[in-house]
Structure 1
Amino acid sequence: MNGRTKSLATRLFLSATAWVVLILVITGVVLSTVYKRSTERAFDRRLNFYLRTLIAEAAQPDDPNDKSDKSERSVQSLGEPLFELPLSGWYWRMARTDGDKPEVRASRSLWDASLPKLEDQGVELDQSGVRLGYVTGPENQNLRMVERPVDLGTEGKYLASVAGDATEIYEETWAFNTYLAGTFAALSVGLLLTTIFQVRFGLAPLKRISSSLAAIRSGQAERLEGEFPEEIAPLARETNALLDANRAIVERSRTHVGNLAHAIKTPLSVIVNEAGINRGDPFAAKVLEQTDIMRDQVAHHLERARIAARVTTIGTVTEVAPVIEALARTMEKIHRDRDILIDSEIHAGAKFRGERQDFEEMAGNLVDNACKWAGQQVRVEVMVERSAANAPDPVLRIIVDDDGPGLSPTERTQVARRGQRLDETKPGSGLGLSIVTDLAQLYGGSLTLGAAPIGGLRAELVLPGV
């Protein structure tokens, strides 16, 4: 899986993870809130039951034969032992709100302490005529209280209050939240594992396409092969159609270039033949001279058009070592009378991403130029290196050195121009280095001239590798 596919997989995973976590957090908060409210409602129903029981006991008429205190009877009738246990967290109180003399009845659990009033805290009566809320009780206990004003007729008006320990609500809510968190944590792990599985296998077809395209670029394949899911199949079909169209365009370009070359060379040959009849005539000599220049220029530009068409071909790869070795043998034979020695050092497995004949054209021009000017030695070094840390493909660097007279910086700039020759005694048209420069630029490379360590000229060619 390449970097871009990994990036897509990472983005999908992070996006899915974020959504899963967000949904689970929102769901957890909602469930926790609903459970807490449900627990409070259950607790409130219990408090309201005790409140109604307390009011019912207080509203009973006094029995003349019953000498016990009415508050004692009320405590006994509520049926909750915690109301008798001092400071238990469960309390009730009946406080008279009319008359000059205050009267308060309270549970034994309240002991000598008192209960705050929800009315004093600004809590309004609800539709059922009661007040509900949290208060701080004796010894800073957190209490849930229900409070209701009642009119007992002849006995007066009272404010009845019942409070219970709210720790029960908090403990139940905490236990529920703990179980809920554990459940959601396990669910999150399961969902994330499922997401990883889906992302990995869901992107597998894209990984296959990526690998197939890499094989096409490296020259190991010509088309995307294999079955793809129906969502990816149109992409594979369009890619194959694009490759076929690209090859067709290249073939048509080659045919047109060949036809144009044939159409131009024939009139030029006629002109040369006619001018050659009168070679002694200055006009004829000038025609022949200009015709030779035209031939070179036409050949140069036709070659550029032909190469430009070939460069658009995807998947062409050339082995470097066989080309360099064949050039070295050929040049040594051509310059046998001068005893030129060509040393070559080639990186194992070096490959050029392009046509073989283009590489032969570039390397051949450089080696031939070095042999023309060398004294006795020419050195060719081929290296494969990365242009940048994140570069997808390596760079092919070909260095050709000779031990000839070399060139000054000004002369190096001059010889790189098309048709420029510094020494007319040497064979050639002056287009060699210009052709190399143009070819290298078409492939996204470059040619640099400098001073060679062995004394002559250094030509450094940079091309795309594999």
Structure 2
Amino acid sequence: MRANSLATRLFVSATAWVVLILVITGIALSSLYNRSVERAFDRRLNFYLRTLIAEAAQPDDPSDKSDKSDRSVQSLGEPLFELPLSGWYWRMARVDGDKPEVRASRSLWDATLPKLEDLGIELNQSGVRLAYVNGPENQRLRMVERPVDLGSEGKYLATVAGDATEIDEETQTFDLYLAVTFAALSIGLILTTIFQVRFGLAPLKRISNSLAAIRSGNAERLEGKFPLEIAPLARETNALLDANRAIVERSRTHVGNLAHAIKTPLSVIVNEASVHRGEPFAAKVLEQTDIMRQQVAHHLERARIAARATTIGTVTEVAPVVEALARTMEKIHRDRDMQIDTEVPAGTKFRGERQDLEEMAGNLVDNACKWAQHRVTIEVLAERASGAIEPTLRIIVDDDGPGLSPAERAQVARRGQRLDESKPGSGLGLSIVTDLAQLYGGNLQLGAAPIGGLRAELVLPGI
């Protein structure tokens, strides 16, 4: 699951970067191409402008009876200047003298062109003004304007305008081809990324599955061959598992040695005190050594369980343990006609040692049978809390006895506390269950049972 999550995050991240880079590159290329088309269009306008000025600067031929404006149109070499409202226009307007003189292309018809000077457009380094304007019929035009001094013939303002739709259409066509090309490139890169992520992270997924198998008790080590980049991780993980098992074995050995080392002196003390059993001092020694034995047994057991609880991969079937406890307790309490009902789903498992589960569940069932009138129920539930990685095992033991008040529940959970001395036991049962459950990351909760007595709910790690 984690490997899949990592693969998903890597794929999303790589895809996002690919798309972002392609989008930025596409915008940059589109902008560059638009400027390139615009510069080519401006060169075309400037060519027509220079041709227009050159025609206007030629002296009139007395023998030529044709209109000079017609000659100018012909010399520009663009038929669209003759087509009315075609989007291509030129104009020569005299700006000095008392009598205005305006010559214009036939395409301009009766319309006029705005002056860039009046629009606040400044001359550039080439001595012309360039801008986009709205022309006749609300056409979008690219216009170039240049002031011209023809000497004796006067000063003029030469203007040439072209249909900017050509620029837009050229750019849009390029953008379409660019979008199709980049879309195909994106699909190719995404498929390549999927391939790399899927097969590149396959060894990590194998390690994740192997670790899950180790935690569930189906394997003891990471097996198989891994790539050179992953092999050190697999070796170190196996070394860690081996070291963990070695530590557990040493802990068990030390606990056993300590138990023997303590029990022998205690036995000597008890034997010596038993010789003088009638004396007050001997009675006190025997009383305290009995307490010492209980405490030593409790803490040694806790140390032993703590060592086992750190072992990875230990799994116990719950149903056989519960059924065996129920049969045993029914035999022990057969003179009381005790009924023990069990409800354990098939396949329910406890992540821990079998003898620890037997000790915890056995204490709870034994305690319920001591106080029950005739009935004890044992229910096992396997649940997965919202957002939790591992499932939870709940063992619920109910009896139909007198039950306990909230204050009494808190008291009996403490070590060595007993409410009724007439019942057999040391008072350590529930305390031992609580300690062992905490070592496995669980807990014990006491409450009221629906059948009238005490409910003991044991929460442990499941699988």
TM-score band by shorter chain is over 0.9
Distance (Å, rounded) in 1 between the aligned partners of 2:404 and 2:135: 102
Q: CA deviation at 1:354?
A: 0.7
Question: What letter is aligned with 1:434?
Answer: S
CA distance in structure 2 between the partners assigned to 1:64 and 1:400 by the alignment: 126
1:241 CA displacement: 2.3
> Aligned partners of 2:25 and 2:450: how far apart in 1?
74
Confirm or deny that 1:113 pairs with 2:141.
no
User: 2:346 is matched with which residue?
Assistant: 348
Q: What is the CA RMSD across the aligned residues, in angstroms?
A: 2.2
Q: Which deviates the most, 305-314 or 232-241?
A: 232-241
In 1, distance between residues paired with 2:110 and 2:334? 125
Question: Could you list the per-position Cα deviations for residues 306-359 of structure 1 after superposition, in whole angstroms to 9, with x for gaps in the alignment?
Answer: 111111111111111222222233333434444444332222111111111111
TM-score normalised by structure 1 residue count: 0.92
Q: Aligned partners of 1:58, 1:24: CA distance in 2, in Å?
A: 50
Match of 1:358 among 352, 356, 359: 356
Q: Distance in 1 between matches of 2:166 and 2:406?
A: 93
1:454: Cα distance to partner?
4.1
Alignment-derived partner of residue 390 in structure 2: 393
Aligned pairs for 1:51-90 (under 5 A) are 51-90=49-88
What secondary structure does 1:117 align onto? coil
Q: Give distance in 2, aligned partners of 1:411 and 1:156.
A: 117
User: 2:440: which partner in 1?
Assistant: 443
Query: Structure 2 residue aligned with 1:26, among 24, 34, 40?
Result: 24
Task: Find the aligned partners of 2:403 and 2:141 in 1 and give their Cα distance.
Answer: 100
Aligned amino acid, residue 445 of structure 1: G
1:464 counterpart residue number? 461
Give the structure 2 partner of residue 310 of structure 1. 308
Match for 1:118: what amino acid? Answer: L
Aligned partner of 2:294 in structure 1 is 296
Secondary structure (helix, strand or coil) at the match of 2:357 reads: helix
1:411 is aligned, of 408, 412, 421, to 408
Aligned amino acid, residue 436 of structure 2: L
Moved more, 297-306 or 187-196: 187-196
One-letter identity of the residue aligned with 2:58: Q
Secondary structure of the residue aligned to 2:426 is coil
Among 122, 144, 147, the residue aligned to 2:145: 147
Counterparts of 1:119 and 1:316, CA distance in 2: 90
Counterpart amino acid of residue 442 in structure 1? L
After superposition, the Cα gap between the structure-2 partners of 1:76 and 1:456, relative to the gap in structure 1 and judged at 3 Å, is closer
The amino acid across from 1:105 in the alignment is: R
Report the Cα distance in structure 2 between the residues aligned to 1:172 and 1:374, rounded to whole angstroms: 92
Determine helix, strand or coil for the equivalent of 2:343. Answer: strand
| 1:433 match | 430
**Identical pairs, percent:** 86
Q: For residue 236 of structure 2, what is the aligned residue in structure 1?
A: 238
Deviations for 1:163-200, whole angstroms, at most 9, x for unmatched residues? 11111111211222222223223322332333333333
Deviation at 1:5, TM superposition (A): 3.7
Task: Evaluate the alpha carbon distance shift between residue 377 and residue 131 of structure 1 in structure 2; reply closer, same or farther with a 3 A threshold.
Answer: closer
Aligned ranges 1:164-243 → 2 under 5 Å: 164-243=162-241
Matches of 2:452 and 2:135, distance apart in 1: 101
Q: Show the counterpart of 2:367.
A: 369
Structure 2 CA distance for partners of 1:423 and 1:91, relative to 1, 3 Å: closer
How many angstroms apart in 2 are the aligned matches of 1:45 and 1:26?
A: 29
Counterpart-to-counterpart distance in 2, 1:17 and 1:424? 72
1:289-311 deviation digits (Å, cap 9, x = unpaired)? 21111101110011111111111
Equivalent position SS for 1:38: helix
Letter in 1 for 2:460: L
* Aligned counterparts of 2:62 and 2:217: Cα–Cα separation in 1: 114
Task: Provide, for residues 387-435 of structure 1, a one-character-per-residue CA deviation record: whole Å limited to 9, x for no partner.
Answer: x223222222222233444444443333222122333343322212211
Structure 1 residue 452 displacement after superposition: 3.6
The letter for the 2-side match of 1:430 is G
CA distance in 2, matches of 1:373, 1:49: 111
Q: Return 5+ residue gaps in structure 1 as ranges.
A: none
Q: Does 1:420 align with 2:412?
A: no
- CA 1:157/1:373 → structure 2, altered by over 3 Å: closer, same or farther? closer
Amino acid in the other structure paired with 1:122: G
Cα distance, 1:270 vs structure 2: 0.5
The question of 1:334 aligning with 2:332 is answered yes
Number of aligned residue pairs: give it. Answer: 463
Relative distance call for 1:85 and 1:400 in structure 2 (3 A) is: closer
Aligned mates of 2:19, 2:192 — CA distance in 1: 14
Q: Tell me how far apart the structure 2 counterparts of residues 82 and 207 of structure 1 sit (CA, whole Å).
A: 69
Moved more, 185-194 or 448-457: 448-457
AA aligned to 1:437 is T
Q: Distance in 1 between matches of 2:113 and 2:357?
A: 99
Using the size of structure 2 for normalisation, the TM-score is 0.93
